[in-house]
Amino acid sequence: MTTEAHDLELIDLLDRVAEQEHVALKALYDLCAGKLFGLAVRVVGNREWAEDVLQESFISIWRSAGDYRASLSPPMAWLGLIVRSRGLDFLRRRTTSRSHVTQELDDGMAETLEGNSPCPMDTVQASEQALALHQCLGRLENRQREVVSLAYIRDLSHSELSLQLKLPLGTVKTWIRRGLDQLRQCMSHFA
Amino acid sequence: MNLIKNPQLLDHLASAYALGTLRGGARRRFEALARVQAPVRTAALVWQTRLASMNELQTQSVPSPAVWTRIDNMLQGEKEAATLRAQRSAGLQAAAGETHLGEWLRSLLVWRGAAAVGALATVVAVVTGLNLRAELGGEVQALQAKLLTTPQIQYVAVLADGQAAASVLVTFDANSKKLTLQRVGSYQEAGDKSLQLWALPPAGGPRSLGVLGQDKLLRLTAGEGDIREVPTLAISLEPKGGVPSAGGPTGPVLFSGALIQKML
């Protein structure tokens, strides 16, 4: 299915979800749960929490699908923002209730940082806009791409990244700065 | 800081802002600028949109089937709660006005809400029936109350002067035992005089029914015995405040007329 046809299908489902059609929510879930669950895992760092986040996300999609049209975003981008923000809420609640626990980096992420795969990112179901970002991220060094990606997905500051990745603060700042510089140059071609 | 004149710096700050690594005072200053300068705001939005695509590039993973079951259970629960609320408010509307009946209906409706749709039809029929009866009962009560308060005019007299010009209209309501006098002419007694109303029974002398004030409309209390069997009423001109009944009128009779018993 082409990106455009896929988007139209999702938009139609979102409209029907806004009309509180249960069948449409189920259809939307069947189409997107895998992609959105992958994102949730990445945000919160483990599958069990990610399942809670996915559940909360679909309840909030059920309640706010009527707002989708006003966002002017591709449907997957809008759904992704909901999942990420539910995921970040989940992490904030956990840190507030268990402030003594510092968040540990999950194994999967440590592997990605060390790995040499050209770009582990997945373009399945990605919008046109995401394909552009994917191309530009592909030109970054693995470590830079991973740090930039992690900073965004988990909403982490330089010092939080340095703590979690066990890297010197200066290194983190340099990777982020270089990564963003290259992204800016590359993305300007798509503007 | 004029960011608009430095597009490279603006792009740099906007991308760091959207990524989330622009923090503290620098972030607050950037936000303040974005609020007042549209190009700054635009640059921030462009980068937020671009980086949001990061959400779409994560590797897929299959969640446990239990997740959908949990979502579905929550939605079913919400749906049932909403249905219950709707039935409850419908019950409230149907029973509005009748507090005890209303409470009974509400508890019945909530209880029935959990039962099958077939049972609901029965409830609707019962509610409609009860409501109809309550409405009819209310209407009868209202009519009875209205009958009690509506004056029942049993006697009417038009008191006229010598030229047969109507001057005072008299009505008597046996229910409330009220005589109502309405001046309809232009006659006005002098300041030191009063008009006095008399019953002129066939036997015995005139009996005073009261003294008129200056008002257009005057109400006097009288027993039905004072009025019944009296063929004629009259008004005389007396000294201020009127004269005792026993002595009869002392001044000239200005208006008089027959008292007519109205047939219902």
| pLDDT tens digit sequence for B41-61 | 999 999 999 999 999 999 899
Alpha helices in chain B (DSSP H): 7-19, 24-36, 38-52, 66-94, 99-113, 117-149, 224-227
pLDDT digits (tens, 9 = 90+) for B93-114: 665 555 555 555 555 555 555 5
B199 and B207 Cβ atoms separated by less than 8 Å: yes
The residue count of chain B comes to: 264
pLDDT at B20: 95
What kind of fold does domain B153-261 have according to CATH?
Answer: Immunoglobulin-like (2.60.40)
Cite the residue boundaries of each domain of chain B with CATH code 2.60.40: 153-261
- Amino acid identity of residue B215, one-letter, is D
Q: Does A134 touch chain B (CB under 8 A)?
A: yes
pLDDT digits (tens, 9 = 90+) for B146-195: 766 666 667 788 888 877 777 888 888 877 778 888 888 777 888 888 88
Mean pLDDT, all residues of chain A: 87
B79 and A21 Cβ atoms separated by less than 8 Å: no
Domain ranges in chain A? 3-97, 107-188
Tell me the two tokens of residue B46: 């462009």
Q: Is A79 helix (H, G, I), strand (E, B) or coil?
A: helix
Mean pLDDT of B211-228: 78
Scan residues 137-176 of A and list those with Cβ closer than 8 Å to B. Answer: 137, 148-149, 151-153, 155-158, 176
**Torsion angle of the four alpha carbons B137, B141, B146, B152, in this order, in degrees rounded to the nearest 10:** 110
Residue to test with chain A: of B53, B75, B76, B80, most A Cβ within 10 A: B53
Scan residues 3-22 of A and list those with Cβ closer than 8 Å to B. Answer: 22
pLDDT at A57: 97
pLDDT at A67: 93
Class of domain A107-188: mainly alpha
Nearest to B50 by CA among A143, A191, A41, A37: A191
Residue to test with chain A: of B55, B61, B62, B69, most A Cβ within 10 A: B55
pTM: 0.59
pLDDT at A181: 95
CB neighbours of residue B162 within 10 Å? 9
d(CA B209, CA B131): 51
Tell me the two tokens of residue B96: 């509005």
Class of domain A3-97: mainly alpha
Tell me the two tokens of residue B150: 């509506």
Q: Backbone phi, then psi, for B141, in 5-degree steps?
A: -60, -45
- Amino acid identity of residue A7, one-letter, is D
**Closest CB to A124 among B50, B53, B60:** B60
pLDDT at B111: 52
Nearest to B235 by CA among B199, B259, B184, B186: B199
